[in-house]
Amino acid sequence: MAPEKVTVEFLNRWKAEGRPIPALTTYDYPTTRLLDETGIPFLLVGDSLGMVVLGYPDTTHVTMEHMVHHVRACARAKPRALLAADLPYRSYESPDQAVSNARRLMDAGAEAVKAEGGRVIQPQVEALRAAGIPFIGHLGMLPQHVVEEGGYRKKGRSESEVKALLADADALTEAGALAIVLELVIPDVARQITRRIPIPTIGIGSGPDCDGQILVTHDLIGTFPWFTPGFVKPKLNASQLMRQAVDDWIREVGR
């Protein structure tokens, strides 16, 4: 699917060509290598790391140290896929802080950074772009705000939410974002945003009409069986296979 190194320039080209962009999260060396061998073009070291790898209840516990450690591990796989990484909670509260933390992720091997929010982080996005750091936006349900918002709720239900989403998508585009993740956005609204902006939208739980789709890999392959979002249709029950393999081995040892 991706025969050559995928660079940030590919994303816009693929949108223009109407070529869908599949993307998955990754957090370690072997998973990055395995996913990359499938030819997937886009991998994200997401701060979902906090939940599916580190066992925290939400992403607000993830630190820069966690992200740098895991980005380094993923980058050691030298993926052909574009490797992006999340700026974690409270790591981009000012333009200067955003640039210095994004540089740490880039030095660790990320090729682009992602952060949550629209107009409120426009100065940070402009500063990142001025520093030559490729930026991916994230709108809709913002997991780093789950505590204040009191849960994971679909966005774009009311007229005011739709207006805000459109204004945020425009602001990120103007500030120089190279793509925007749309999380839990009502599908009609996600389609509207996708048609409106020239940069790709990458949906998660936002219907089929985004330019790309991203999933948390653990949800797709069933390695975090205790919770799977309703919009995911897992392709594998890896936890079950693991339990079976371990049971078989325990029986062998007991023989």
- Helices and strands in the chain, H and E counts: 11, 8
Locate the DSSP E strands across the chain: 21-25, 42-45, 82-86, 112-114, 135-140, 179-183, 201-204, 212-215
Write down the least CB distance from residue 169 to ligand KIV, Å: 16
Here's the x/- map for ligand KIV, 139-178, by CB under 6 A: it reads as: ----------------------------------------
Residue 18 per-residue DSSP state:
T
| 117 is a contact residue toward ligand KIV (CB under 6 A) | no
| 181 is a contact residue toward ligand KIV (CB under 6 A) | yes
Which residues are CB-contacts of 79 (< 8 A; sequence separation ≥ 6)?
32, 33, 35, 36, 43
| 36 is a contact residue toward ligand KIV (CB under 6 A) | no
Write down the least CB distance from residue 249 to ligand KIV, Å: 32
Measured CA to CA, the distance from residue 137 to residue 181 in angstroms comes to 6
| 204 is a contact residue toward ligand KIV (CB under 6 A) | yes
Residue 214 per-residue DSSP state:
E
Reference 131, options 115, 119, 113, 117; nearest CA is 113
Write down the least CB distance from residue 192 to ligand KIV, Å: 20
| 26 is a contact residue toward ligand KIV (CB under 6 A) | no
> What burial letters (b/e) apply to 185-198, b meaning 16+ CB within 10 Å?
bbbebbbbbbeebe
Phi, psi values for residue 6, rounded to 5°: -85, 125
| 216 is a contact residue toward ligand KIV (CB under 6 A) | yes
Query: Which range, of 9-17, 39-47, 155-163, 245-253, touches ligand KIV by CB under 6 A?
Result: 39-47
The residue among 4 and 26 lying less far from ligand KIV, judged by its C-beta, is 26
The residue among 163 and 208 lying less far from ligand KIV, judged by its C-beta, is 208
| 214 is a contact residue toward ligand KIV (CB under 6 A) | yes
Reference 82, options 32, 132, 120, 121; nearest CA is 32
Q: Residue 135 in contact with residue 114, Cβ under 8 Å?
A: yes
List 36, 86, 168, 211, residue binding ligand KIV (CB under 6 A): 86
| 190 is a contact residue toward ligand KIV (CB under 6 A) | no
Residues annotated as part of the active site: 183
**Which residue in the shown chain puts its C-beta closest to ligand KIV?**
46
The residue among 66 and 191 lying less far from ligand KIV, judged by its C-beta, is 66
* Residues that bind ligand KIV in the complex, under the rule CB under 6 A: 25, 44, 46-48, 86, 138, 181, 204, 214, 216
